[in-house]
Copies of this chain bind each other. A is one copy, B any other.
Amino acid sequence: MQKIGFVGLGQMGGAMSRNLVKAGHSLQVYDLDEAAVASVVEAGAAAAESPAAAAAGAEIVFTMLPIGAIVEQACFGPDGIAEGIAEGAVVVDMSTILPAETKRIGMRLAEQGVGMVDAPVGRTSAHAVAGTSTFMVGGKAADIERVRPLLMAMGEQVTVCGPLGAGATMKLVNNYISAVVNLATAEGLAMGEKAGLDLEIMAEVLSHTPAGRGHITTTWPEKALKDDPSPAFMLDLATKDLGLAVDLAANLKVPLATGAVSRQLYQVAQARGHGREDWTTGIYRTLKALGGV
């Protein structure tokens, strides 16, 4: 049983703090929304008057808040966590914020001998309720090991991504790819529906291909992830097919916004001499070169 502070009891934080109570910990919780506080208090937590009060005497203080500015306010504003927290304690921010914000907060906490771990959450609120969240974690190894049992009380997987801010970076990489994939799926299926294809048939076909199952576990392991350019599918051919899709969309009068810009990037890859390479390795080499990686 540990004494824990918890600031931010929204859809995610409310569910997660309840799982800490269930695991037998002593929680001091704070939120601007009194109904949210009441609901966690009913589960067995103690209400705190401020972030400072939630942090008072706690070994670990969790924050789960909407944006970076609010995390900073909760830490360093009037009656903030920094005013109440003891030297040697650790703040664990589970919000999705910029890694630069995470690092700035961590540096200020370090000045008063307080550790920080960033642990943004994978999956959805349903998983938060079920205690099956995943965490992408950044921070010092010793701090991470201290908080790991608590994270495992709220979830089922903790992936250590690197130093402070690495969890936030990983979360943004993940959610970035996910948002584009979601949109590209919508674009492709809307085009198919307008052309007369059946949505269920399309979903069935895509459930067997990298288009539907993603590339990272299908086409990438033997190629881009090993920087192997030998083609399983040549970038020139992928570019040709993308051009045909953009032409088809023009005929059908449907928008393929990500495809139009993708075509430009594949052409950049061709112009840089990657046309006869595998399309995964060729495009990854191109992006790394363009980004100075």
Q: Which residue numbers of A lie inside 8 Å of B, CB to CB?
A: 67, 96-100, 122-126, 134, 136, 157, 159-163, 166, 169-217, 219-221, 224-225, 232-233, 238-242, 244-245, 247-248, 251-262, 264-266, 279-280, 283-284, 286-288, 290-293
Contacts and interface: CB of A to CB of B under 8 A. Distances in A.
A181 B211 contact: yes
A171 B211 CA distance: 10
A199, A254, A287: residue with the most chain B Cβ atoms closer than 10 Å:
A287
Given A204-B159, A207-B216, A257-B264, A187 B251 contact: no
A188 B192 contact: no
A262 to B, nearest CB: 5
Contacts of A180: 180-181, 184, 187, 258-259, 262
Contacts of A287: 183, 186-187, 189-190, 254-255
A106 to B, nearest CB: 15
13 contacts: A100-B248, A122-B205, A125-B233, A170-B192, A172-B191, A179-B242, A180-B180, A180-B187, A184-B258, A203-B225, A252-B291, A257-B261, A257-B264
Contacts of A197: 161-162, 166, 169-170, 173
Contacts of A221: 203
* Closest CB pairs A-B (n = 9): A254-B291, A176-B245, A180-B184, A178-B211, A177-B211, A212-B216, A175-B241, A190-B287, A177-B188
A190 B262 contact: no
A123, A184, A207, A256: residue with the most chain B Cβ atoms closer than 10 Å:
A184
Given A98-B248, A194-B293, A255-B291, 18 more contacts: A67-B240, A98-B244, A98-B247, A125-B233, A159-B205, A172-B191, A175-B244, A177-B184, A179-B266, A182-B219, A183-B265, A183-B266, A191-B291, A203-B225, A207-B217, A211-B214, A254-B291, A255-B290
A122 B208 contact: yes
- This protein's copies in its complex: 2
A65 to B, nearest CB: 12
A15 to B, nearest CB: 13
